[in-house]
Each structure stands twice: as structure tokens, then as C-alpha cells.
Amino acid sequence: MKIDYSPAELAPRRSARRSVWLAAACVSILAVVATREGIATRESALHDAAGDEAAQAFAPTTENAFDAAVQGAAADNVAAPSASDWTTVVVKRGQTLSDIFDKEDLAFSDAMTIVGLNDDAGRLKNLRPGDKISIRKNEDDQLDQLNYEYDPTHTLQVRRGDNGFEAVTIEAEVQHHPAQLTGVITSSLFAAAQKAGLSNRLVMEMADIFGYDIDFALDLRDGDHFSVVYDQLYKDGKKLRDGDILAAEFVNQGRSYRAMRYVDADGNATYYTPNGESLRKAFIRTPVDFVRISSGFSLGRRHPILNVIRAHKGVDYAAPIGTPVKATGDGIVAFAGVQHGYGNVVILKHGPKYSTLYGHLSRFRKGLHAGQRVRQGEVIAYVGMTGLATGPHLHYEFRIDGVHKNPVTVALPRANPLPKSVVASWRHDNADVLARLDQMSDTATAMVTPSAPASAPGAPPSALHD
């Protein structure tokens, strides 16, 4: 190997790190030269002591060692400097990504580029107080990588590449563990659920599942009991949150109702009985959530204002002014306005056979108008006391072919069942869930002792809430 020691034209200064590299290289070469001089001294001594032959034998070895040392110094690249440490920024109220970039001495143009990369990167436009953004810079103090965990299972990663910034979303591996619990109602559903350890969200989900068959404003009795198998989500061994109800049973006044979760090919979840019958009906039983009935359906009731015997062809639900009123079925708004003693009223048509009426409303949902389509469970108005009303309540009527029916007791048509071709495999896949439900059902039944007090017929029902 031949090393050219002739001076070369100085390269332009690039950075402080380049200067450090050159200094290190010079030190290495000086060390090698010093070694060469030491080897030469040793070579001369050997020549004097053992003659030319011994020196000639030693020379190739020292020359090879010298060449190897210089080669190593020249070829050994200085290790690339490690990226700077991560900086984690906790978002403050009103703070934007550009504010954060400005504080971290990063380019405003980079912030604008990043938020336009894709939909997930667009989440950076709407940062929330308490959100955390991790930033790493490169050796030129430019943004190298940004991480933003926008929910417990998804992290947005933005990296600088050869062609600019790239954004990808990383989904954390989440473990699913089934959990189960059971409870007995002695005062209210919420109290029983809280005692059993069921979250309020799952209480509402359970009430929604069985809301077609059970009127939680009227039907609950002390001694009713429930069993729930639900999903729990874990990440890295730590619980994130409760998932969805996988299966549930509610025993109301001695009658058992069961539900199992079914997810179709498009990811839509619906609850069916274990035999595949739909729990969903064409109508929900009550248009307002968990309130008491102040006046029932009657053909011989004395009107509280007119003081005459007049049929009460609906049900009155006592509730505070402003309580949301929901459409009990899919339909079209036939009327929304003021009508006689009803005050503010909405009438919905549900095909050629069914219609529902909602009276004494304080106001309508913004934009509601005749001819508009509404979905079951959609808020259409709010409880009030307009028209002939002595207090805030909702007057609700249910009609079949124009004939008034008692909304509390009328048989409601069901939605379509699960196709028989999938019921067997669905039950097979949920065999463990069903076994858990059976076991808990036995436990709940044992918890209800013969001496458990039961509400007498005609007594006011337990409310869903305390």
C-alpha cells in the first residue's frame, strides 16, 4: 500500500463534527508515525546485534504492521453521531403544533407539511390539553421524528426520509380478556351494577340491549337480577378499559332475556338471542330515558285541567324540561309544530301502518321539519309543558292503523333474525361465553333468596337511577 502524504486542497468546513473527525484522524496518524519511528529504532538495534540477515527478516513484519495501522486509521470511519435525546412536550390549552415547533426551534414549514400528510396526521391540527408529543432532532437540529399517541392503542409516527416526511400509524397489540359479573336489584339498577362492579357505560349498554323488551322506567322489581360477560382490553399487561358486552342475561319479574353479540363481515355489531332471534324491534318502548310514568293509558281518565272524563290515549312521562326525546322507530316527520292541547308536537309516520306522537315539547331539534327522515333513537325534540299541561312531561302516543294502543303493553314487531346458515357456527364460536353465562345465571338465582322482598303488583317500579 502506498500512502500519499502530499498536501491536498482543504475541503470546505462543514460542521463542528467534521472538525472533530479530522482532529481524531490526525491524532491516529501521529500515533502511527511515532510507532514507525520506534519500529525503525528497534530495526537498527537488531541490525547491529544480529547483522543484516536478521534485520532483513524483521523488516517485512514491521512494514506490514505499519501499513495495517495506517490502513485501519484511514478506513475506520468515525461512528455516526447518535440522534439527540427525545423531547416530550405536554400540550397546553390553546397550544398548536406550530407553537410547539417554534418553541423547539423547528421550522414552521415542517409543521404545515406534516399536518397535511394524511388523515391521522391531520389530528395534529386539533391538539387537546394534556396530549403528549415526542420529538427527536437530527445532527443538523432539524426534526428527525415525531410521535403522537392520539389514543391508547394508536400512535402516529412522522419520520424524515430521503423524499421528505412520511407518516404511518402504529396500532398497539391489544389483548382481550373476558370478564364476568352478576348482580341483584334491591333498590335500583345503577346501585346493583355499582355493587357488582359494572361501569356506568356498560349499564347503559345493557339497558340499550334489553330496552326493547324491558321498560326500565316501569318494569324493574326488587329481586330482578342480571349476568354479564364482557370484554376487557389490556396493553403491555395493563388494563386500558372495558370493551363491549359479549353476552348478557336479565331476569325481570321471573322472565329471562338473553343476548349475544354478533359482528357481521362489515364489522357491524348486533345483539341476538342465542337462537338467532333479533332483540331489536322496529320500535323502542320508551322515547325518554329512565323516567317515571306520571299518567298511564286510560279510556276513562278525568282530565286534570278540563276536569272532565276524557280518554287518555297515551302515556305521560314525567321528566325535567329539556330532557331529550327520541324517535321510537325509523320514520318520516309528518308534522312538527303547535297543535291544540298538545302544544309543541311532533308526529312521525312509520310506514303505512304505524305512527307515533310526542306532545307538550319545549322545543324541537334544530332543523327538524316535515318530510325529514329520522332514525330510531335519534333526538327529535325536548321535554316541556306547552299546551294543556300541569307540569313538565312528555305525552307519547302509539297508533296502529290510526287506532291508539297502550305504548307500555302493545306488542312491538321485531327486526329480521340472524340467518340460520350462520347461527350454528356463531353459537360454536361463543360456546365459552354461553357456558360462563349459564354458570353466572345459576349463581344469580342462588343469590335471590325466597325471602327477598318483591314489589307488590301495582306498586311504583324501581327506577334505573337512584
Q: Find the mean pLDDT for residues 90-94.
A: 94
**Confidence at 124, pLDDT banded by 50, 70, 90:** very high
Looking at mean pLDDT, say which of 30-44, 65-79, 359-373 comes out highest: 359-373
Of the two residues 397 and 211, the one the predictor is more confident about is: 397
Q: Please report the pLDDT score of residue 27 as a whole number.
A: 46
| Residue 323, domain member (yes or no) | yes
**Confidence at 294, pLDDT banded by 50, 70, 90:** low
Q: Taking all residues of the chain, what is their mean pLDDT, rounded to a whole number? A: 79
- Among 171, 204, 222, which residue terminates a domain? 171
pLDDT at position 152 over 70:
yes
| CATH number for the domain that contains residue 375 | 2.70.70.10
Q: Please report the pLDDT score of residue 56 as a whole number.
A: 47
Q: Please report the pLDDT score of residue 296 as a whole number.
A: 56
pLDDT in tens, 196-208: 999 999 999 998 8
pLDDT at position 41 over 50:
no
Per the CB < 8 A criterion, the answer to whether 178 and 230 are in contact is yes
pLDDT in tens, 6-23: 444 444 444 444 444 444
Q: Please report the pLDDT score of residue 310 as a whole number.
A: 54
Same domain, 388 and 349: yes
| Residue 263, domain member (yes or no) | yes
pLDDT at position 283 over 60:
yes
Whether the CA torsion 380, 384, 389, 394 is positive or negative: it is: positive
Same domain, 147 and 193: no
What is d(CA 210, CA 119) in angstroms, rounded to the nearest whole number?
Answer: 37
Same domain, 190 and 275: yes
Which candidate, 173, 190, 332, 301, places its Cα nearest to that of 237? 173
- Among 136, 171, 206, which residue terminates a domain? 171
pLDDT at position 359 over 80:
yes
What is d(CA 250, CA 450) in angstroms, rounded to the nearest whole number?
Answer: 18
Q: Please report the pLDDT score of residue 5 as a whole number.
A: 41
| Residue 73, domain member (yes or no) | yes
Same domain, 100 and 205: no
What is d(CA 109, CA 107) in angstroms, rounded to the nearest whole number?
Answer: 5
| Residue 214, domain member (yes or no) | yes
Of the two residues 244 and 303, the one the predictor is more confident about is: 244
Per the document, the length of the chain is 466
Q: Find the mean pLDDT for residues 156-160.
A: 94
Same domain, 153 and 220: no
pLDDT at position 139 over 80:
yes
**DSSP conformational letter for 78:** P
Same domain, 44 and 71: yes
Of the two residues 285 and 365, the one the predictor is more confident about is: 365
pLDDT in tens, 304-325: 554 544 567 889 999 999 999 9
Same domain, 134 and 196: no
What is d(CA 402, CA 422) in angstroms, rounded to the nearest whole number?
Answer: 39
Q: Please report the pLDDT score of residue 339 as a whole number.
A: 92
Q: Find the mean pLDDT for residues 116-137.
A: 93
Q: Find the mean pLDDT for residues 279-301.
A: 72
Q: Please report the pLDDT score of residue 449 as a whole number.
A: 58
Q: Residue 241 in 3-state DSSP?
A: strand
| CATH number for the domain that contains residue 223 | 3.10.450.350
**CA-based radius of gyration for the chain:** 39
- Among 37, 61, 80, which residue terminates a domain? 80
Q: Please report the pLDDT score of residue 304 as a whole number.
A: 52
| Residue 287, domain member (yes or no) | no
pLDDT at position 26 over 50:
no
Residue 285 sits at the vertex; the CA angle it makes with 420 and 201, to the nearest 5 degrees, is: 80
State the chain's maximal CA–CA distance in angstroms.
Answer: 141
Same domain, 71 and 51: yes
What is d(CA 144, CA 138) in angstroms, rounded to the nearest whole number?
Answer: 5
Domain span holding position 21: 1-7+16-80
| Residue 327, domain member (yes or no) | yes
pLDDT in tens, 414-463: 788 888 889 999 999 999 999 999 988 887 777 775 644 444 444 444 44
pLDDT at position 31 over 70:
no
Number of folded domains in the chain? 4
Q: Find the mean pLDDT for residues 384-398.
A: 91
| Residue 321, domain member (yes or no) | yes
**In this predicted structure, which of 59-68, 178-187, 338-347 has the lowest mean pLDDT?**
59-68
Q: Find the mean pLDDT for residues 174-191.
A: 90
What residues contact 312, with CB distance under 8 A and at least 6 apart? 295, 296, 297, 298, 299, 301, 303
Q: Find the mean pLDDT for residues 411-415.
A: 83
Same domain, 433 and 393: no
Considering the chain, what percentage of its residues have pLDDT values greater than 90? 50
Same domain, 75 and 111: no
What residues contact 126, with CB distance under 8 A and at least 6 apart? none
Same domain, 339 and 393: yes
**Confidence at 292, pLDDT banded by 50, 70, 90:** low
pLDDT at position 50 over 80:
no
Q: Please report the pLDDT score of residue 452 as a whole number.
A: 46
Grid cell in block for residue 107: 421550522
pLDDT at position 329 over 50:
yes
| Residue 178, domain member (yes or no) | no
Same domain, 140 and 241: no
